[in-house]
């Protein structure tokens, strides 16, 4: 693992282009190991696409991504997961008919060869079993192992997504709006879970609720129209004039750059 002061993740001029649209436009950023970072910005800013570029589900059109000094720009999502990159999704991504522990077993076995065998044992190794146990505890789902996922509250389902991401022992955890759709009580419960994640885990959080995000992170990246418009600490972000303007929903603070030079900027 990288020393605490070294960057664990470095993006250099990363662009993800869909046809004429640069959803992520020449983004460069660097995260220290153990850092907590929020990525904020209006709808369509490119936040999820940035996560897709980092975890490999949508490879960058250009640019370079280093993870713990390894160039993973062209690696598959599986190879990146193996290196320690995990994510949760903006939209719940669970097997609803299965129990919590069955979902966790799948997550824990996600990186093992037995995944590729139809006849492989569904037993976990003791190491995997330990990871499942610890991940459920960190996500405050201990005792809920046998509950069928679709019978859980939405809040618990979002906790399970965090648990499943943790089951692969990531070093970088990308959380895409983990508190979206939750009640205020569920949101603060989930915020507590995120706050208490192991301190050596680097966490990047996409979140529309600025108060929730700013209370959890060391540093903030604000995106608009595919570009980073501000990076600063949470206190400065609260009073930053450009950020306030973006969050009041005024469009075209930063002109969208496309091949046709014409993209609509949606407000929050």
Ligand X SMILES: Nc1ncnc2c1ncn2[C@@H]1O[C@H](COP(=O)(O)OP(=O)(O)OP(=O)(O)O)[C@@H](O)[C@H]1O
- In the bound state with ligand X, the residue whose beta carbon lies nearer, of 104 and 210, is 210
Estimate the crossing angle of helix 126-138 against helix 154-166, to 10 degrees.
Answer: 140
- Of the candidates 40, 5, 52, 25, the residue with the CA atom closest to the CA atom of residue 231: 40
Stretch that binds Mg ion, among 5-13, 52-60, 82-90, 152-160 (CB under 5 A): 82-90
State the minimum distance, in angstroms, from the CB of residue 122 to ligand X. Answer: 34
The site partner of 41 among Mg ion, ligand X, none (C-beta below 5 to 8 Å per kind) is: ligand X
Kindly state whether residue 178 participates in binding ligand X, applying the rule CB under 6 A: no
Q: Are 33 and 202 in contact (CB under 8 A)?
A: yes
Q: For residue 225, state whether it binds ligand X (rule: CB under 6 A).
A: no
Q: How many residues does the chain have?
A: 268
Task: List CB contacts of 222: < 8 A, sequence separation 6 or more.
Answer: 39, 40, 41, 228, 229, 230, 231, 237, 240, 242, 243, 246
Among 11, 29, 34, 49, the residue binding ligand X under the rule CB under 6 A is 49
Binding of ligand X at residue 23 (CB under 6 A)?
yes
- Contact stretch for Mg ion (CB under 5 A) within 61-69, 88-96, 179-187, 258-266: 88-96
Q: Does 221 bind Mg ion (CB under 5 A)?
A: no
Number of chain residues interacting with ligand X (CB under 6 A): 12
The binder of 191, among Mg ion, ligand X, none, by C-beta within 5 to 8 A per type, is none
Q: For Mg ion, which residue has the nearest CB?
A: 48
48 binds Mg ion (CB under 5 A): yes
Tell me: does residue 56 bind ligand X (CB under 6 A): no
Are 220 and 214 in contact, with CB atoms under 8 Å apart?
yes
Among 25, 31, 34, 41, binds ligand X (CB under 6 A): 41
Judged by CB under 5 A, the number of residues near Mg ion is 3
Per CB under 6 A, the list member of 7, 34, 44, 234 interacting with ligand X is: 44
Max Cα distance, the chain (Å)? 59
23 phi and psi, to 5 degrees? -65, -35
Among 9, 45, 173, 217, binds ligand X (CB under 6 A): 45
d(CA 257, CA 259): 7
Q: How far apart are CA 138 and CA 162, in angstroms?
A: 9
Rounded to a whole number of angstroms, the minimum distance from the CB of residue 39 to ligand X is: 8
State which of residues 10, 25, 48, 128 lies at the interface with ligand X (CB under 6 A).
Answer: 48
Q: Is 228 in the site for ligand X (CB under 6 A)?
A: no
Considering CB distances under 5 to 8 angstroms, the limit depending on partner class, which of ligand X, Mg ion, none binds residue 40?
Answer: none
Cβ atoms 37, 43 nearer than 8 A:
no
Closest CA to 212 of 243, 244, 189, 239: 189
Are the C-beta atoms of 173 and 45 separated by less than 8 Å? Answer: no
Residues at the interface with ligand X (CB under 6 A)? 18, 21, 23, 41, 43-49, 90
């Amino acid at each position: 693992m990288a020393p605490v002061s070294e960057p664990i993740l470095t993006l250099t001029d990363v662009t993800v282009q869909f046809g004429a649209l640069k959803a992520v436009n020449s983004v460069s950023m660097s995260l220290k190991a153990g850092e907590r970072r929020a990525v904020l910005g209006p709808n369509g800013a490119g936040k999820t696409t940035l996560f897709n570029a980092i975890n490999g589900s949508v490879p960058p059109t250009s640019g370079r991504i280093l993870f713990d000094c390894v160039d993973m720009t062209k690696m598959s999502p599986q190879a990146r997961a193996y290196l320690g990159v995990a994510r949760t999704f903006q939209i719940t991504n669970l097997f609803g008919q299965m129990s919590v522990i069955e979902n966790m077993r799948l997550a824990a076995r996600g990186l093992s060869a037995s995944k590729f065998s139809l006849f492989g044992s569904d037993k976990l190794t003791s190491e995997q079993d330990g990871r499942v146990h610890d991940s459920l505890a960190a996500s405050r789902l201990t005792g809920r192992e046998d509950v069928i996922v679709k019978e859980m509250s939405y809040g618990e389902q979002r906790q399970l997504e965090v648990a499943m991401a943790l089951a692969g022992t990531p070093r970088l955890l990308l959380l895409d709006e983990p508190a979206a759709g939750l009640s205020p009580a569920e949101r603060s419960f989930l915020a507590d879970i995120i706050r208490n994640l192991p301190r050596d885990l680097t966490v990047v959080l996409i979140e529309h609720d600025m108060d929730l995000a700013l209370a959890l992170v060391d540093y903030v990246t604000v995106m608009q129209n595919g570009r980073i418009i501000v990076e600063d600490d949470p206190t400065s972000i609260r009073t930053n004039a450009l950020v306030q303007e973006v969050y009041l929903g005024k469009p075209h603070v930063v002109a969208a750059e496309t091949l046709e030079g014409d993209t609509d900027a949606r407000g929050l």
